Structure 1
């Protein structure tokens, strides 16, 4: 046998010094494939075995290179040797030449295709896209020259790397390899999508961006939503999603992590201002890399800050969007933060607050998100030939705890809208404590003014005409949104009861001090809308009187 003759002379002692590659295309259970691989291993050569049944996308290319579809097919770098019989029949000089070729020459570009190593491809793509991004970023760091990026030769290299993703073998990846691979791919895909399509500005554009921008990986399509919520979060529903990314029969479900890894949220960068910085991750020591990213993220005051005086913890919106990943409750969330923040004054302050209990988590980005929402509304209105009137736009904050005072503003263009104690929603004044004292005061003032004018012309009106005017007052003012007043204390609704009493006196032209009970009894048959002077007490009687007044009014209008 040739291998016995050359065993001592050609045995490679250190495979790591080999620059090239021996590629063997085979199928499981093939005796000829087994013999060929055993012979190559005796020579100490680095064998790259490719299961042609598992990677059917390579069958056509291998058949074109080898001229047949049988196995095994053996290549030394880009040199085709043949099958097992051809390998066994090589003379010593040919074999020595091939071994030296693999030892000294790197794998050429025209070498036969093999399934790509996921970690190598993702790391190369991550580094290349970052170079493109940084090379064409403006000096102020706010804009990217997308046209120049697409003209760059590095962009063509990146697109070629992206095509190689379809040959990546995903099912054989370990948990650590999946984390590194998909984090790098996610961050690369976000930048690639921004370069091709531009940065999404509206909510609808962001929805389409994260649900349609995708790569073909291992023969399956993965969108940004699929990578984050399907793979890295263990197939959990994302923000504003009703369904899980992968169904039970979806082949991509086999790639998903078994359990969610909260640390991924400090490695993924979706392009928002509050996202963590972009880094490249490797499978080796991935857990420590992610923990270091989380620690650095929590050190930033924009991401995590403690107000000891108010006993508030202000966190990045990431913790709100993915609260379930951090335990699902405020207490578990804050304990998670405590466990992952580095030694610092923040950690000591958080420990003191947790020990004392009753910590109030807060979200420092509420104003920014409201501003973004208002901007989207303004853009939508412009598209439909409408205009948002900022002069009549009011901001009302209703705290869960009346003792907490939220003092912030929202920005729309050059205009700033500050929070106020009350806001008017067509005809109703809503206050931040929801006690409706301002609404009652406003209704009382307008009704008093109208009754004053009716009383001035009362000598010239018949009793029936006065009833019509007063019923119109009840319908348009007293009954308007009166269901909001149900359950309020009598002291709050007393001014409205006094208005109703005054209205009854105006109908019968009685003096201001006249007793109203006989007047309401008299109105039972003539004006049902004014018959019950206790209708402010319960929601049922409130709706009942509104219905009676409406019925009476329709009758009068016929």
Structure 2
């Protein structure tokens, strides 16, 4: 059928990188039904609010046949079994124009100026970039042996100062020391053996450019010549770019991702180059909200980068290695997925099954960690499993409202929680059991937390009725670790 065969209109509200949105649209294509796809990522919050008001839901996709709200992908799939009902809806759209109350294309004034996938990553060249280029050609960066250890690609502080005075015409050694300190403060270099005060002194202390740091970080070995950017802005841009990539290589049926295809794409190579900007990002001075948004975005981007670079984990041991070793250099320090989640966002709480906290008392990363854990991050962190919350990008200015919406969306689905009124039982995601201390002291506290963060509707009403009884039961569903890789 063509659009000309229909007087009315089928509308699908979706977001980038949403597998269930892809499945819903593919189902409509299989039925040869034309539809209008409205990407909510392209519009402001007012359009999202309108969709929530129309549908009564916080999730996507949301599907309308003229003014008739069908629901999400599961609702559309259920409708396929009801041939009479489906045919009735198709005839309604085919023979009748959309009434005034039916969804319409949002006004162009609602369009965001920046669209996902359309970003041009340009940057201001840092004034020290030329100095670093010359330093790498100076010959003072080489392998240094101290005791039984050989430190590759390092330079001595006093030799660096000598070079500045002789080759760069610095006035005196004091000015050279200031320049060396500036390189440390700007995140270009770090001491081989970290000192707590971080002072650059005119002696034989060894330093190494971060791009020469020998570690397993996925952004190691890159060159960062851009002026340092605010953490929240950089986090959003990196997340948007890799989310666009994820969407481009998500199969039309939304069931798998071609990670090999991502790895071979020119956009992924651009993304990888961009991760070098994380070296010198200033995260210490960020607000709590900016830290939360930044680290959620970077965590979610790092998961996809990890799948591309090392592959998706398929068993318990591989998952342990993946979340503990897949990492980025951020602000001069190494952060694994585990460090981001449990060290920073959970305020340095012990990971599942661990006897120790991610950061020791002397760890330089401890100053970046939140002072109090933020439980809502559990609805935003994407681990790549089918039971995880939906993929999104978070902004430093509105992250708490966005997290509340993510919680509503997660709890709206059957993976988040289920209610059995007859058995007076509520079933919750295993996330609430694993991280119980973030949600309360016991199962009853977990139930109250869930009720406070569910969106309005029949499910919440039923949930509240069950937990209002003294003898209700809280249980936890098995977690689905099935990976959506192709």
- TM-score range (shorter-chain normalised) is 0.5 to 0.7
Return the offset for 1:328: 2.2
CA distance change for structure 1 residues 20 and 259 in 2, over 3 Å: closer, same or farther? Answer: closer
CA distance change for structure 1 residues 251 and 356 in 2, over 3 Å: closer, same or farther? Answer: same
Q: Give the stretch that moved more between structures: 338-347 or 226-235.
A: 338-347
1:193 and 1:22 mapped to 2: Cα distance? 28
2:367 to 232, 254, 263: 254
Q: Which residue in 2 is equivalent to 1:273?
A: 386
Q: Deviations over 1:76-97 (max 9, x none)?
A: xxxxxxxxxxxxxxxxxxxxxx
Q: Which residue in 2 is equivalent to 1:182?
A: 295
Return the offset for 1:284: 0.8
CA contact (8 A) 2:343 2:357 kept: yes
Q: Which residue in 2 is equivalent to 1:303?
A: 416
Q: Which residue in 2 is equivalent to 1:211?
A: 324
Aligned residue for 1:314, secondary structure, equals strand
Return the offset for 1:146: 3.0
2:295 and 2:333 mapped to 1: Cα distance? 14
CA distance change for structure 1 residues 219 and 284 in 2, over 3 Å: closer, same or farther? Answer: same
1:135 and 1:194 mapped to 2: Cα distance? 15
Q: Which residue in 1 is equivalent to 2:376?
A: 263
Return the offset for 1:239: 0.9
1:145 and 1:225 mapped to 2: Cα distance? 25
Q: Say whether residues 1:222 and 2:222 are aligned partners.
A: no
Return the offset for 1:179: 0.4
Q: Which residue in 2 is equivalent to 1:354?
A: 467
Q: Within 5 A, what are the aligned runs for 1:147-546?
A: 147-365=260-478
Runs of 5+ unmatched residues, structure 1: 1-18, 26-50, 61-109, 373-558
Q: Which residue in 1 is equivalent to 2:32?
A: none
2:182 to 49, 52, 58: 52
CA distance change for structure 1 residues 248 and 141 in 2, over 3 Å: closer, same or farther? Answer: same
Aligned residue for 1:328, secondary structure, equals coil
Return the offset for 1:145: 2.7
* Higher normalized helix content (fraction of residues): 1
Aligned residue for 1:128, secondary structure, equals helix
Aligned residue for 1:144, secondary structure, equals coil
Aligned residue for 1:240, secondary structure, equals coil
1:59 and 1:316 mapped to 2: Cα distance? 43
Q: Within 5 A, what are the aligned runs for 1:101-120?
A: 113-120=226-233
CA distance change for structure 1 residues 331 and 159 in 2, over 3 Å: closer, same or farther? Answer: same
Structure number with larger C-alpha Rg: 1
1:148 and 1:355 mapped to 2: Cα distance? 51
Aligned residue for 2:438, secondary structure, equals helix
Q: Say whether residues 1:132 and 2:262 are aligned partners.
A: no
1:144 and 1:260 mapped to 2: Cα distance? 32
Return the offset for 1:186: 0.3
Return the offset for 1:219: 0.5
Runs of 5+ unmatched residues, structure 2: 1-121, 129-180, 191-222
Return the offset for 1:153: 1.1
2:358 and 2:124 mapped to 1: Cα distance? 39
Q: Which residue in 2 is equivalent to 1:33?
A: none
CA distance change for structure 1 residues 168 and 243 in 2, over 3 Å: closer, same or farther? Answer: same
Number of residue-to-residue matches in the alignment? 277
2:337 and 2:123 mapped to 1: Cα distance? 36
Aligned residue for 2:239, secondary structure, equals helix
Aligned residue for 1:356, secondary structure, equals coil
Q: State the TM-score, normalized to the length of structure 1.
A: 0.47
2:321 and 2:438 mapped to 1: Cα distance? 24
CA contact (8 A) 1:52 1:59 kept: no
CA contact (8 A) 1:121 1:161 kept: no
Higher relative contact order (CA 8 A, sep 6+): 2
1:52 and 1:337 mapped to 2: Cα distance? 48
CA contact (8 A) 2:224 2:277 kept: no
Aligned residue for 2:409, secondary structure, equals helix
Aligned residue for 1:130, secondary structure, equals helix
2:259 and 2:468 mapped to 1: Cα distance? 52
